[in-house]
Amino acid sequence: MGILIKNTDDIKGIGQAGRIIDNLFKSLSNFDLEGMSTWELDKFIENYIIQRHAYPIFKGYRGFPAASCISIEDEIIHGIPKKDVIIKKGQLVKIDVGVRLNGYIADAAITFGIGSIDKLRRKLMEITRNALRKGIEQMKPGNHLGDISYAIGNYVHENGFNVIKNYGGHGVGIQLHEEPIILNYGEKERGPLLKRGMVFALEPMVLSGDVKIIEKSDGWTVAAQDGKPSAHFEHTIAVQDPPLVLTAEL
C-alpha cells in the first residue's frame, strides 16, 4: 500500500484525537499513582477516553484485553494492566495509549517516575525523551526515513544506553499501524523520502542494560531479559517544516 499521505483535514482529525491523549497525560501527571493497580489506572484511562466520545483503539486490537499498555520497570512495551500489579515508589511506569476519534487515530506513550527515582532512572527518562525530540527534528520533507532512525539511535548510544531492536515506530492516522516501520536505529540518507502529509508515530524504547528481550507468559508483555529498567516515549507527528506534533508539544 505504501506510505499514506494525509491531507489537511486528515491531519486536523488526527490532531483532535491526539489532544485527548495530551490532556489525559497532563491529568495523569497530577495524580499520585503510587499504590494504584495498573488495572485501576487502565479503567481510568478507558473512561477518560470514552467520556470524550472517542474509543481506546488498543482494546480488542489483535486480542489485546485493555484500553492501554502499562509496562513497569524492566517491562518495555505491551504490558497488560492487572489487578494484582501495584505501582510502587521508585518505579518507572510506561503508559501507551491509542485513541480513535471520528475515524482518525493518534498514538502516544509517556514514562512516569513514581515518587523519588534514582539517578539512573532519571537519566534514562531524560535520554529517551530527548531521543524522541531528535527523531522529530528529522521529520521534514526531503529527509529520508533513515535520518529519523539514525538520529534516535545515535543519540541513545552516545549517552550509554541501548534501543530495542525488534520493535519500532510506524505510520498512523487511518489505521493504528500503517507503513512504514520506523526502527530506532539506522543509517542516514537511507530509505524512503519524507513527504509533507506523512504521519508517523515515533517511539524510542530505551534499555538501561543489554539489548536482549523476552516476551512474558501473557503473550504480550515485552521485557528486558536482564531485568534492568527501560523507558518509552512516543508522539504522533506530521511531516512538514517544522514538523507538527499532533499528540503534545514537547
Rounded distance, CA 209 to CA 194, Å?
32
Q: Rounded to an integer, what distance in angstroms lies between the CA atom of residue 68 and that of residue 59? A: 7
Give the C-alpha separation, 177 to 21, whole Å. Answer: 17
pLDDT at 2: 87
What is the model's pLDDT at position 128? 98
Residues 207/228, Cβ–Cβ less than 8 Å: yes
Domain ranges for the chain, please list them. 8-244
CATH topology of domain 8-244: Creatine Amidinohydrolase (3.90.230)
- Could you tell me the three cell numbers for 99? 485513541
Residue-wise pLDDT for 182-195, tens only, equals: 999 999 999 999 99
CB-based contacts of 69: which residues, under 8 Å, 6+ apart?
Answer: 58, 77, 78, 79, 80, 94, 95, 96, 97, 109, 220
pLDDT of residue 249: 58
- Regions of the chain with pLDDT less than 50: 250
Cβ(199)–Cβ(171) below 8 Å = yes
